[in-house]
């Protein structure tokens, strides 16, 4: 968990926070995420997710679109000695990534956001905390 500011270097690499590197292992899968960010999964977690995606009903157009978004955009990437991953241009373009990015740690993945988009997203979420709390209450979480 957490939020970390990093930069994409001239070679299109971004360092992943050191606190996550042991859990991530030497190879990760980077793919298109929701809300125009990138998702970064440990290889084992990705394999489990891909297996679950394979069981979804492909007769529904929304399901097909989601599976295509996740699987067709995915690439497995080795972390270098400094814990950096090389981001393909198509993924950088999808997420609108510039030099400054935020790496956000979630339950089973990391997310890479353009810093300005992250700030806008976070500000919007913070403005809706009452609504979010209501939804969590309905789920029995809050």
Domains of the chain, first to last? 2-114 (3.40.1550.20)
22-30 average pLDDT score = 93
32-56 average pLDDT score = 94
Tokens of residue 87, six digits: 């981001």
DSSP-H helix ranges across 84-139: 89-95, 115-127, 129-138
Q: Where are the beta strands (DSSP E) in the chain?
A: 2-7, 13-15, 27-32, 38-42, 75-78, 84-86, 100-105, 110-114
How confident is the model at residue 124, as a pLDDT? 86
Distance (Å, whole) CA 106 – CA 89: 24
How confident is the model at residue 142, as a pLDDT? 65
Instruction: Determine contact, residues 29/72, Cβ cutoff 8 Å.
Output: no
How confident is the model at residue 20, as a pLDDT? 92
Tokens of residue 56, six digits: 């979804």
Distance (Å, whole) CA 5 – CA 99: 11
Per-residue pLDDT band for 140 (boundaries 50, 70, 90) equals: confident
Predicted TM-score of the model (pTM): 0.89
Residue with tokens 């029995």: 140
């Amino acid at each position: 968990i957490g939020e970390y500011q990093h930069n994409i270097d001239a070679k299109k690499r971004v360092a992943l926070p050191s606190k996550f590197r042991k859990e991530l292992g030497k190879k990760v899968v980077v793919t298109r995420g929701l809300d125009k960010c990138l998702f970064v999964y440990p290889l084992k977690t990705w394999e489990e997710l891909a297996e679950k995606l394979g069981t979804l009903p492909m007769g529904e157009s929304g399901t097909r679109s989601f599976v295509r978004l996740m699987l067709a955009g995915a690439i497995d990437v080795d972390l270098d000695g400094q814990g950096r991953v090389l981001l393909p241009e198509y993924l950088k373009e999808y997420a609108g990534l510039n030099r400054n990015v935020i790496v956000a740690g979630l339950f089973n993945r990391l997310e890479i956001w353009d810093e300005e988009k992250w700030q806008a997203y976070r500000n919007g979420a913070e403005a809706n905390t009452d609504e979010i709390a209501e939804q969590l209450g309905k789920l029995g979480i809050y």
